[in-house]
Chains A and B, each alone.
Chain A
Amino acid sequence: MADLGLVAADLVVGLMLGCVFAVIAHGLNVIWGVTKVVNVAHGEFIMLGAYGAYYLNLYLGFNPLLSVPVDAAIGIGVGFLFYFGLLHRELRGKETITRESEMVTLVATFGLSLILSNVALAIFKGDAVGIRWAPETLALGPVGVPLGGLYVAISSVAIIAISDLFLSRTYLGNAIRAYSQDIGAAQLMGINPTRIAAIATAIGFGLTMAGGALLTVWLPVGITPLIGSTYAPISFVIVVLGGPGKMWGSLLGGLTLGILIDVLPAFGISTSIAVAVAFLILIPVLLFAREGILR
């Protein structure tokens, strides 16, 4: 039987890791849920967000939490560019987004991810960098809680809560939800579909890059141009687990993955098997709960 103190410590770390997973997947969740576009280049934008936080720290001395709003603002700009540069051609004037459009955007963003990751590799080189920012550790009995991770977890939950409130309580949020449910009906209600899709994409990108900034706290010496290929699949799994378009689904999926990856090793299972198990959870979920765990 595993040591209970160890399990508790791993559970705490797993919960915090889950929160950061949730926030990096959240942008994908918004874009996928609203525009039905699966951004394969998602990981690369997380990577760009992480580099944004790194350079803000290097030149302006920002800590990762401070660079979140700056990254989000950049991400919103990038999101508009992405929408009008890439998605608009495919989504313009469509009342239902067919599987064919889904596949076109899937392949197109796949091309984009190849471009971004390899150009980033040429520019940033393969060396891992990181931000020196480590607030002290809070001791809770036998369990030490690193404050940096705790701040990130709180920010993640706050971001998800705010996005949920935004979608359910504001006019723009309702318009976005209407668009995601039925484009034709939303248009009849006087909603401009292009505007809504562009705004939703931009918000998604802002969230993605902000997530990249928060992720740097977990990567004190591990920001490389290739982190995208690690975190993109994690994000896909999280969004499918929670169900695309469900805001709290990100948190649920993120926590599931974080806890599995961190707690299974306490029971003597190696980390890589734990990661494999966390990924493979996807298959039973898809088989038995196609729309995600959340109803």
Chain B
Amino acid sequence: MRIPRMRFPTFGPTLYGLALLMVVLGIATPFLPIVAKVQLINFLLFVGLAYALNFITGLTGYVSFGHAIFMGIGAYALGGGIDRLGFPPLLGVFLGAGLGAAFAVGIGLVTLRFRGVYFAITTLVLFLAAKNIVPEISQLGEGGGIFMNLGFQPLAQFYTIWAIVVIEIGLTYWVTHGRLGYGLRAIKSDEDVAKTVGVNASRLKLSLFGISGMFTGATGAVYAWTLSAVLPETGFDITFSLRMLAMIIIGGAGTLLGPFLGAIIVYVPYNYFQTVQSLLGLQLAVIGALVLLIALFIPTGIVGTVRRYVPFLRRYIE
């Protein structure tokens, strides 16, 4: 029996809202002062990462601590592409996306067999191994990294990351509202039962992990582009893994609006605390406190909780 197509007569208000916001950002940004442009680029980097992790951790429930590995792969793809192959930056971002997807599929083939905490630990361990191996490779500049003399290109960077986020939002909508969404929800609640009713769990998980790796790689490449350099420390930065996870847990894992909300909540203190001397370095502690409280009291995150307790908003946010 074929599973019937899930019917949604219209696009939901959340999608309209996000689309409107992205269009406004896309039109207004060229006219904004340079400081605001840089802020927006950094913010959209966070949004891009949040949606990327949402594909695997949010939709299937597989918690990954090691997603920064794909950021590093994307960053080194951009650095290598520009420095060794003479690519323009945009092509480097595509290379980052491709390599991110390829590595994700390779890693996923092995690690997605492990469930729960074992998957989480394996991803963490793979990240640490990569972080130890990459500085040893002489083609990648060893520990010294790769410096690209790209100059300051805020608009090109902005529109690249803007496009990545737009595609991610569209794809998240498509995945959650299409036939795939049924299978994913089944995997998230009970993988073994999902398999017995004919969900091809391994293929579904692997494709989502690949998509997730692709977008993380692309975002990592844009991040390296904004820094104009690739270093082992900035490429393979565990705090990005942690922030990504925090964003989707806070916002609401597996939802359409959640990663965006989470990105705002994580980005604002990240940005604000750096300007206040006494709060410097405490941003992650505040984010950690939020994660702790949300995990214990409202494990479905902001979006999930609002949907549960405020019925009339259910139509508008998802």
Majority secondary structure of chain B interface residues (helix, strand, loop or mixed): helix
Q: Is the CB of B110 within 8 A of A114?
A: no
Q: Which of A110, A113, A276 contacts B129 (CB 8 A)?
A: A276
- B296 at the A/B interface (Cβ < 8 Å)? yes
Q: Is the CB of A103 within 8 A of B135?
A: no
Q: Is the CB of A236 within 8 A of B282?
A: no
Shortest Cβ distance from residue B268 to the other chain A in the assembled complex, whole angstroms: 17
Q: A106-B120, A108-B296 in contact; A286/B285 too (CB < 8 A)?
A: no
Using A111-B293, A272-B135 as known contacts, list a sample of 9 further A-B pairs with CB atoms less than 8 Å apart, ordered by residue number in A.
Answer: A106-B117, A108-B295, A110-B291, A110-B295, A117-B284, A118-B283, A233-B124, A233-B128, A283-B125
A275–B113 CA distance with the chains assembled, in angstroms? 24
A106–B118 CA distance with the chains assembled, in angstroms? 11
Q: Is the CB of B282 within 8 A of A114?
A: no
A121–B273 CA distance with the chains assembled, in angstroms? 15
- B265 at the A/B interface (Cβ < 8 Å)? no
Stretch at the interface among B19-27, B173-181, B241-249: B241-249
Shortest Cβ distance from residue A31 to the other chain B in the assembled complex, whole angstroms: 12
Q: A272-B133, A280-B125 in contact; A118/B292 too (CB < 8 A)?
A: no
In the bound complex, residues from chain B placing their C-beta under 8 Å from that of A107 are: 63, 245, 249, 291, 295, 299
A107–B289 CA distance with the chains assembled, in angstroms? 11
A240–B120 CA distance with the chains assembled, in angstroms? 12
Q: Is the CB of A114 within 8 A of B288?
A: yes
A272–B130 CA distance with the chains assembled, in angstroms? 10
A283–B117 CA distance with the chains assembled, in angstroms? 14
Question: Could you mark each residue 112-129 of chain B with 1 if its beta carbon is under 8 Å from any beta carbon of chain A, else 0?
Answer: 011111101110111011
In the bound complex, residues from chain A placing their C-beta under 8 Å from that of B246 are: 111, 114
Q: Is the CB of A118 within 8 A of B285?
A: yes
Q: A110-B245, A276-B133 in contact; A286/B122 too (CB < 8 A)?
A: yes
In the bound complex, residues from chain B placing their C-beta under 8 Å from that of A273 are: 132-133, 136
Q: Is the CB of B295 within 8 A of A38?
A: no
In the bound complex, residues from chain A placing their C-beta under 8 Å from that of B293 are: 111
* A residues at B contact (CB < 8 Å): 38, 86, 89-90, 99, 102-108, 110-119, 121-122, 229, 233, 236-237, 240, 270, 272-273, 275-277, 279-280, 282-283, 286-287
- B144 at the A/B interface (Cβ < 8 Å)? no
Closest 8 A/B residue pairs (Cβ): A114-B288, A111-B292, A111-B291, A118-B285, A108-B295, A276-B129, A115-B288, A272-B132
Q: Which of A115, A121, A229 contacts B281 (CB 8 A)?
A: A121
Shortest Cβ distance from residue A84 to the other chain B in the assembled complex, whole angstroms: 13
Shortest Cβ distance from residue A34 to the other chain B in the assembled complex, whole angstroms: 15
Q: Is the CB of B295 within 8 A of A115?
A: no
A108–B292 CA distance with the chains assembled, in angstroms? 4
Give the residue among A86, A112, A283 with the most B Cβ atoms within 10 A: A283
